[in-house]
Every structure is written in C-alpha cells, then in structure tokens.
Amino acid sequence: MTTVRSSPAGTRDARRAACAPPARRIGPHALLALIAGGAAGVLALWWVNTPPASGPGALIAGAGRITGLLAGYGCAVLLLLMARVPALDRGVGTDRLARWHAFGGRYVVGLAVAHTLLAIWGYSVNTRTGLASGAATVVLDQPDMLKATVATVLLVGVGGISARTVRRRLPYEAWQLLHLATYLAIFLGFFHVLSNGDEFVGNRPARLAWYALYLVTAALLVWYRLITPVRRGLRHRLRVLGVRPEAPGVVSVYLTGAHLEELRAEPGQFFRWRFWAPGLWWTASPYSLSAPPSPHRLRITVKDVGGHSGALARLRPGTRVWAEGPYGGFTAGRRPRRKALLVAGGVGITPLRTLFETLPGDAVLLYFARRPEDLALRAELEEIAGRRPGRVHCFVDEPAAHSCPLTTCALRRLVPDVADRDVYLCGPPGMMQAVIRALRRAGVRRRHIHYESFEF
C-alpha cells in the first residue's frame, strides 16, 4: 500500500470546483409530468383509433390493445430512467430514479402479461375457437408475434430475478448480466406493435412518433452509458495516485487526472469506478467523493466489505481508472435553507464530509460509529469545523459512555433548532430509518430530509 498525505482541506482548487455553476436539472415533478403526458398521448391514440365495441370479443381485444400500448410505452420510460442522463440524475436523484425503475418494471411486466392473455382471449372469442388453438394461431401466424412471445417470456424472467428475495441471493454482477436480457426483450417486442396495432397500421404520424420515442431513448442510452464513459476515460486519463488508511478496514484512494473540472462534479455526488487491475476491471462500483473535487485530484474513501471494496487497499500507483459520472442529487442544490444538519453513520461520512466543508451557512455534523477508531476522517472534520460556522459531534457505541440514542429528545438536545434546518443523511438503512422517524417527530418536514438509498 502506498501512503499519500492528505492535502489541506479547502484548497483553492477544491473551492473553485465546489463553487462551479450548477448543471442543468430536471426535477421529479417535471419528469413525472412528462411521463404522464406521454401516457395520455398513448391513451388518446388508442381512443381515436378504437371503434365502438360491438361485443365481448371487441371489448377484450380493446383491453388487450391498450395494455400492449402502455407496456410498450412503459418499456421506453424504464430505459430512459436508467439512461444516466445528467439533468435527470442531478435533479431527481439516482436512488429515486432506480426506485421508479423498479416500481415501473413490475407494472410493465404485468401489462405485458395482461396484453398477451387478453389478445389471445379476444381472438378466441371473436373467431369462436379454443384458447389453445387461438394462442397457436396468434403466435405462429400473425406477423412478429413469435418474437413478441419470446420478449414476454424474457420480461417475466427478468422480473422474477429482480424480485427482492431472489435478487439478494444473486451476486450483483450476475444479476446485472441477466438484467441485460431486458434490452433483447424490448427489441424483440418493438416491431409487433407496428405490424399488428390498429393505431399504427396506415397511420404514418403515429408510426413516426413511436419510432422517435424509441430512437431518442436508444440514443441517450448509447451516448451516456457507452460513448461518454469511453470519451471521458480517454480525455481525463485518471490514474491511482496512492492509497491511505483512514480507519480499520477503511482506506482513501487518491486519483489524479487531467481537466477534471470538466466533469462538473459536486460535493455529495458519486462515480462508478472501474479500476483496470486484476479482478477489478470487469465491474464498475459506486463510491462517493470524500473530498471536494479539484481540477487535478479526486478522492474516494471505501470500507472493506469484501470483494471489490476490499481489493482497493492493494491498488498500485499508476493503475488506470475509468470513472462514470458524476451521479446523484445528494448535493447543496436540494437545500433551500441556510442552516443544515448532517447525520452520518460509519463510512456514510464520505459524501457528508464534502458537504460539511462546502455548504454555506451554519452546519452541524453528527457522526456515529461503532468504536472511536472507526471514526474515519475525524481529524479532517475537526479541522473544517475550526474554520467554518459549524460544529461536529462524534458518538460511538463502544464505550457506552460516548454513545447517543437516535431519538427525538437527543436530536433536540444536540440541535435545538433542528426543525429549521435541512437535513442530509447517509449511513446504514436501519440507522437512517431511525433518524428519519426522530426527525419527523421533531417537526422536520419530509421535503427538508435529504438522503440517497438504494434499498428498493
């Protein structure tokens, strides 16, 4: 391991980068309005092209058409949510986009299955054939329907492995690889909508709009998930400068590169890091910046929880690094008030350390850890507190004399004006849930509690 001296907190470069003009953002309400507007357009397209129902078969077939249209539209929306578009990522937040993606995925799978069953049922009623015979005719004789059937099976399979109980049993890398089957499913199912849907056959504007929806989504995916990481990797030439131990099982990785100010990274954000070292190059793992970014240096602080994170302590200087990002809306842009409360648990201190240094106005930081030696970056935090309006309170479980319960009374005792502050949280899920409950009882409104969680 190579030890690196930490540069003084609040250097001129760091402050210049932290005070850079904010990037464009699209907020959650605006995004939801756009999604709802698109869904209304799909419903209008179905309504205009649907004649009055003339019997049970027509009603069932109509229900099959609308569920199919909504499933197709939903697939495009799901891809857009995960395209890593910076304006969405900064404005909505990576964690919220991921939760919306997971939530919407369940509905899309349900709509796709309902569409399949209703289409077969409606055909059987209209032709007065059995369900098995109707299914065979629909799948084998109608254009692109065999591919659509394979697409539905793939979607159901991806939905199954994405269920929380199943996903927890799979390694993340295996789940991610299997999840790529979604792209194949969407590709296979795309054409049957145009070749069989009454809304598109002979309706050139509708066909062009459907193509535009998918082509724009595909372009955003290719640009932000493929081209941009490669382009930035070649442009910034990131390499490991060194590794420094911070606490038992916790290290800081220092990285150097060129033109890093062009990344427009903000305190509180994270990157997906790909280290070109044996055993690490095949995965890109998310780690937050633990110091304000500068034009020539970045830093992350990582706890050893096994696998990828544990191997970072053995990185050698000069190791090539590709960084995808910056991502996340856990920044000062979420804060409407001048006073802030930051609550960190364990290695969750990493994004909050950058915010503690750069947030304007009064800031109070509560830092919880298991033992005194687990308080990573403590010296830096105390140094920052000595030169800015704010203070740091550190608590540990062992010894018990220095512990603090996560209760409303304790928060009010430590921060009497807690209800007048914006609160930033980062730590283990159980701890964050306890703090949120205490904050709500202390009178902090939900819109003033900011956190990123990937438990969805």
* Domain boundaries defined on the chain: 28-230, 237-327, 332-451
Q: How far is the C-alpha of 197 from the C-alpha of 358, rounded, in Å? A: 55
Helix (H) or strand (E) holding 242: strand 239-247
367-391 average pLDDT score: 90
Q: Grade residue 220 by pLDDT with cuts at 50, 70 and 90.
A: very high
Q: Grade residue 40 by pLDDT with cuts at 50, 70 and 90.
A: very high
DSSP string for residues in 43-56: HHHHHHT-PPP-SH
Residue 291's pLDDT is what? 93
Q: How far is the C-alpha of 270 from the C-alpha of 257, rounded, in Å? A: 17
At the topology level, CATH places domain 237-327 in Elongation Factor Tu (Ef-tu); domain 3 (2.40.30)
Residue 455's pLDDT is what? 56
pLDDT above 60 (res 16): no
Residue 454's pLDDT is what? 56
Residue 202's pLDDT is what? 80
pLDDT in tens, 166-178: 877 777 767 777 8
Residue 50's pLDDT is what? 77
Q: Grade residue 241 by pLDDT with cuts at 50, 70 and 90.
A: very high
| Residue 177 vs residue 308, higher pLDDT | 177
Which CATH number fits the domain 332-451, given the four candidates 2.60.120.10, 3.30.70.250, 3.40.50.80, 3.30.565.10?
A: 3.40.50.80
pLDDT in tens, 316-347: 999 999 999 899 888 887 777 889 999 999 88
What residue ranges in 280-353 does DSSP mark as E strands?
A: 285-288, 297-303, 321-327, 340-345
pLDDT above 90 (res 4): no
pLDDT above 90 (res 381): yes
Could you tell me what percent of the chain has a pLDDT over 70?
Answer: 93
pLDDT above 90 (res 255): yes
pLDDT in tens, 110-125: 999 999 999 899 889 8
Contact at 8 Å (CB) between 288 and 268?
yes
pLDDT, averaged across the chain: 86
pLDDT in tens, 46-73: 888 877 767 888 889 889 989 999 999 9
3-state DSSP helix/strand/coil percent for the chain, to nearest 5? 55, 15, 30
DSSP string for residues in 272-298: EEEE-STTTTT--EEEEBSS---SSEE
pTM greater than the 0.85 cutoff: no
Q: How far is the C-alpha of 284 from the C-alpha of 286, rounded, in Å? A: 7
pLDDT above 60 (res 18): no
231-237 average pLDDT score: 91
Q: How far is the C-alpha of 290 from the C-alpha of 258, rounded, in Å? A: 19
